[in-house]
Amino acid sequence: MSTRRSFLQKALGLSAGMFAGSRAQAESPSRTGSHGSRSSDQRAPAFNAPVITPDVGDLPFTMDGSTKVFRLTAEVLRQQIHPMKSIDLWGYNGSAPGPTIQVNQGDRVRVIFENHLPEPTSMHWHGFEDTIANDGMPGISQPPLKPGERFVYEFDIHQEGTYFYHSHMAMQEMAGMLGGFIMHPKEPYHPHCDKDFLIHLQEYAVLPSNTVPNTMNMEFNWLLLNGKAGPATTPLIVRLGDRVRIRFVNLGMDHHPMHLHGHTFCVTGTEGGRIPEGAWWPGNTVLVGVAQARAIEFVANNPGDWMLHCHLPHHMMNQMSSNVGPMTRGVGMPAGGDMNTGMGMLQGMDGIASDANDVPNFPQDAYMEGPMMTIDQAVERPENFGLKAGWSGFMQGMMTFVRVLEPSQYDAVIARMKQAKRTNDPYAALLERA
Ligand SMILES: [Cu+2]
């Protein structure tokens, strides 16, 4: 048994037998409705699957007696949000959003928090029922933490569900300062899920040729899932028949209607924890309001590469900016030409009518080609193996895939993910038990 596996089992209180149960059940998926409460295997004991935060990963911890000790550092960082765009963000431990903290209900948890920003900050623990001293309200519950200072938060975790941490300085929130905090329930939820994912919904306003988000802006041209804009988002890999949970967290300026193709889900949790089963509601779109969390669950019984995306039209685009055209095209655009020779907008495009320029509303100010530039190779990764060639030209902004893979295809993708041997792989927990 690997160290990582032991670590996860110890961390989450899981036994090897519980992991083993999830594999067999994928062989006999339910073909009826996908949102029902039935797990694909009701006989197996329920367990808490580790939560996977694609493109972000987890924050490791050490033990001090029976206390789990996490170390979080607020810092300035540069992050590639798309193969052709890197921006300057403020986040935690080199990442925006910061790494996900996973604990169990009943745990004693200490977070040693350091400020490496050039200005004061503090950490708010969103939704925690705890003492005021731990609330992280600068100037109210604690003095603002100056650059170089440290503050220690300590909790007895008695809640369960999807929570998050964030700076309580508004402009810092908009620069990327948030992360997930998962409280696994002492009694695993029924039915249990085979896969459990966390997705942060984020938005930045970054003018062309700039790298610093304008945190005052009210409109956003980069829309991200877990710090990446489509097609740079890493797909959610599930096996046909898996019961899947996806937890959305929104800390931005807009509410995002998150839509899943091909399946009907149930909304099973909020930022306040688990919803009693009798009050779950079915849907294929869930509105995730600002400062809210929503958990959805479904049985992945329909094979295919299914889109999961915000349905606000502007949130399915990258680098929107009036009249600058397809900036995602990358190098080689000469300045000063007309729309064809200068911007390369219309030339060589398939499917555009010869009289297109005589048609009202063509081209639009914020022009979105169909497709945009295909960059399959620039975003190549094991999780994308087997996608239809040219797929990346049709995915932007807050878009990713839930890839519901037949067993043989699933095994092929998982084998490639294992082969990649990535450090701090967000999928490590899944790969350990695959
Ligand atoms: Cu949106």
Give per-residue pLDDT as tens, 352-407: 777 777 777 666 654 444 456 788 999 999 999 999 999 998 899 999 999 999 99
Give the pLDDT mean for 190-202. Answer: 96
pTM (two decimals):
0.85
Q: Is residue 361 part of a domain?
A: no
Check which CATH number belongs to the domain holding 70 and give it: 2.60.40.420
Cβ(229)–Cβ(87) below 8 Å: no
Residue-wise pLDDT for 51-103, tens only, equals: 999 999 999 999 999 999 999 999 999 999 999 899 999 999 999 999 999 99
Which residues hold their Cβ within 5 A of ligand 1, which is an ion? 256, 310, 312, 315
Which DSSP symbol is given to 47? -
Higher-pLDDT residue of 313 and 204 is 204
Domain-located, residue 324: no
Contacts of 267 (CB under 8 A, 6+ apart): 275, 280, 281, 283, 286, 294, 295, 296
**What is the distance in A from the centroid of ligand 1 to the CA of 256?**
4
Domain assignment present for residue 287? The answer is yes
**Total domain count for the chain?**
1
Residue 355 lies in a domain: no
Is residue 294 a contact partner of residue 256, using CB atoms and an 8 Å limit? no
In terms of residue numbers, what domain contains 289? 3-314+398-433
Q: What is the pLDDT of residues 107-134, one digit of tens each?
A: 999 999 999 999 999 999 999 999 999 9
Q: Ligand 1 centre and the CA of 388: distance in Å?
A: 25
Residue 428, in any domain of the structure: yes
CA of 255 to the centre of ligand 1 (A): 6
Ligand 1 center to 311 CA (angstroms): 6
CA angle at 367 for the pair 363 and 370, rounded to the nearest 5°: 95
Tens digit of pLDDT for each residue in 311-357? Answer: 998 898 877 654 444 443 444 444 444 444 444 444 445 567 777 77
Nearest to 216 by CA among 201, 228, 229, 205: 205
Within a domain: residue 386?
A: no
* Rg, C-alpha atoms of the chain: 22
- Residue 374 in domain: no
* Predicted pLDDT of residue 23: 38
Residue 346 counted as domain residue: no
Encoded tokens for 34: 């996908």
Query: Measuring CA to CA, which residue among 183, 91, 171 is closest to residue 130?
Result: 183
